[in-house]
Amino acid sequence: MRKYYLDNIRWITVCIVALYHVVFMYNGIVSIGTVGAFHKNQWQDGILYLLYPWFMVLLFIVAGMCSRYYLEKHKIKEFIASRSLKLLVPSTLGLFVFFWVQGYISMSISNAFESIPENTPSVVNYLIMVLSGQGVLWFAQLLWFFSIVLALIAKIEKGKLYKLTEKVNTPILILLVIPVFLSGQVLNTPVVVVYRFGIYGFTYLLGYFVFAHDEVIERLSRFSIPLIITSVILGGLYLYLHFGDNYADMPVMGSPSAVAFCWSTCLAILGSFRKWGNKTNSFLKYMSSRSFGIYVFHYITLSGAALLLTKTVSMQPFVYYIIGIVTSIGGGLLLFEIISRIPVLSWFTLGIRKGKKKCSRKT
C-alpha cells in the first residue's frame, strides 16, 4: 500500500524550499547569491531561520525511507541504476546541457562577469558557468552519494540492522537528537556550506533503518500534538537566540538550539502527516508526481525573474515576493511540463527515460 503521507511531505516541503528561496533572494543576512535586501532590518528574514534548519534534513529522512521501500522490491543493482539516472545524470551532465543557464544567472546577479577579462575565450566562460550552475542540484549530488553508500551497507548487513530498530519508541526517537547534533559538527565543507555530509548522511540512514518501520511512525503519530507544540517553542527560542546571525553557516547551523528545533520539527511533521496527511486526490497526486521537477527548476525561474525585475523596475517589496512565489513554484512547474516532453533534454535534466513524461515518485 502506497504511503501517501510521504508523497505529501515531499511535495509540500519542496514548495517550502521554493518559498525559502523567495525570501532568501531579498534577505539582509546572507549576501552571496542574492539581489540584495530592501531594508537594513527586515522582519520577514525570520522566515529563513524558521525554515532552513529542518527542511533539507526532512527531505533526506524521507529519501532514506523511500530507499528502503524501493529495495524491498528491487535488487541493489536496480537501485544504483535508478538513482544514478535520476540523480547523478541531471547534477553532472545536465550542468553542461541546460543548468549552465543557472550559472549565467547567478554570475549576473553577483556581477561576477565584471571580474572576468574581456578576452577570455567563450569556452572558458561556458565552463565557468557550468561550474557555477549547480544551484539546488547539490541535493541530488549528495543523495546519489548516500545512495551508493547505502547500497554497500545493505549488501553487507542484509537486513539485520533494520530488524534491530523495529522496537524503537518515541522517547528513543527524541533522544536521537544527540547523535544528530554530533553528526552536524563533522564533515561540513567550508565555503560551500550546503554540503553537510555528516548530518544529512546520518539522517538519510536513519530514514532507511529507523523511520521506514511502519510501527515506528505509528508510535510517533500518537505524540503529534506535543511534538508540534515543542517545535513551535524551540523555533521561537532559536529565532530569539540567533536572529541577525548567519543562520546558514557554523556555528549557528550546528548550535544546540538549531538542531533541537530541526529534530523536533522533523518528528512533528512525520508524526502529524502520518496521522492526518495519509490521503490523496487528483491534485495531491499531480503535485507529488512533480515534486522533483519543481525542486530542480524552481530556482532557475525565480533567480532569472529576480535578476530581470531588479534591473528594470522598482516596486514595493511585497510585489517582489508575490512575483517570486509565482515564478518559483509556478515557473518551476511550467518549465518541468515543457522540458519533460522534450526527448534527450528531459533525460539530461530530469533523468526521464524515453516515453516517460513524469517524475518518478520513488525518489
pLDDT digit string, tens, across residues 160-181? 899 999 999 999 999 999 999 9
Residue 31 has a pLDDT of: 85
Residue 40 has a pLDDT of: 84
Residue 360 has a pLDDT of: 41
Rounded distance between C-alpha atoms, residue 308 and residue 323, angstroms: 12
- Residue 317, preceding peptide bond in cis (omega within 30° of 0): no
Cell of 242: 540567533
Q: Collect all residues with Cβ–Cβ distance below 8 Å to 262 and sequence separation of at least 6.
A: 53, 54, 57, 180
Contact 9, 268 (CB under 8 A): no
Residue 354 has a pLDDT of: 66
Cell of 138: 547539490
Name the one residue in this structure whose C-alpha cell is 519543481: 294
Angle at which helices 317-325 and 4-25 cross, to 10°: 150
Rounded distance between C-alpha atoms, residue 177 and residue 262, angstroms: 9
Q: Collect all residues with Cβ–Cβ distance below 8 Å to 12 and sequence separation of at least 6.
A: none
pTM of the predicted model, to two decimals?
0.95
Least confident of 160-169, 262-271, 327-336: 160-169
pLDDT in tens, 63-122: 999 999 999 999 999 999 999 999 999 999 999 999 999 999 999 999 899 889 989 999
pLDDT in tens, 30-65: 988 899 899 888 999 999 999 999 999 999 999 999
Residue 270 has a pLDDT of: 98
pLDDT tier at 358 (50, 70, 90 boundaries)? very low
Contact 265, 230 (CB under 8 A): no
Percent of the chain with pLDDT over 90: 89
Contact 281, 73 (CB under 8 A): no
Percent of the chain with pLDDT over 70: 97
Name the one residue in this structure whose C-alpha cell is 490523496: 280
Helix (H, G, I), strand (E, B) or coil at 196: strand
Contact 181, 256 (CB under 8 A): yes
158 Rama class: left (phi>0) / alpha (psi -120 to 50) / beta: left
Side chain identity at residue 203, one-letter code:
T
Residue 191 has a pLDDT of: 83
Least confident of 11-15, 112-116, 261-265, 291-295: 112-116
Residue 355 has a pLDDT of: 52
